[in-house]
């Protein structure tokens, strides 16, 4: 039996739509559109885009990636920023981590897991 016109994306040289909408650095990990982040995280992203000023002295410090949840990069490649947690008396558990290649990650459980932020 011959099925004409049923080529797979690999056969045609085109990638499936989902793969083209996800940047290479985010493939294989959970993702979240920036618009679906908590309001405080969106505000932190806006501060990052503007270059500050940041409300916490530790905002912008190098993120060590000691948990190895993000791709391995040299020390200083990643930087972290606090996402305020309503009701928390300290910095809370939420962070945005950025990479020098334009990557943006969000964690709401103090680095136990990350989602790639699609902007």
Active site members: 80, 110
What own/partner pairs with CB < 8 Å and gap ≥ 24 does 58-67 have? Answer: 58/82, 58/91, 63/97, 67/111, 67/112
Q: Which tokens sit at 35?
A: 């618009």
| Secondary structure element (H or E) that encloses residue 31, with its range | strand 31-33
């Amino acid at each position: 039996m011959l099925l004409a016109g049923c080529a797979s994306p690999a056969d045609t040289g085109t990638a499936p739509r989902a793969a083209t909408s996800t940047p290479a650095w985010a493939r294989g990990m959970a993702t979240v559109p920036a618009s679906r982040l908590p309001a405080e995280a969106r505000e932190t992203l806006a501060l990052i885009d503007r270059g500050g000023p940041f409300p916490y002295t530790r905002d912008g410090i190098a993120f060590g990636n000691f948990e190895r949840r993000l791709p391995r990069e040299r020390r200083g490649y990643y930087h972290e920023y606090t996402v305020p947690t309503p009701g928390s008396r300290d910095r809370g558990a939420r962070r945005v981590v950025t990479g020098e290649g334009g990557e943006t990650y969000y964690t709401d459980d103090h680095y136990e897991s990350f989602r790639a932020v699609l902007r």
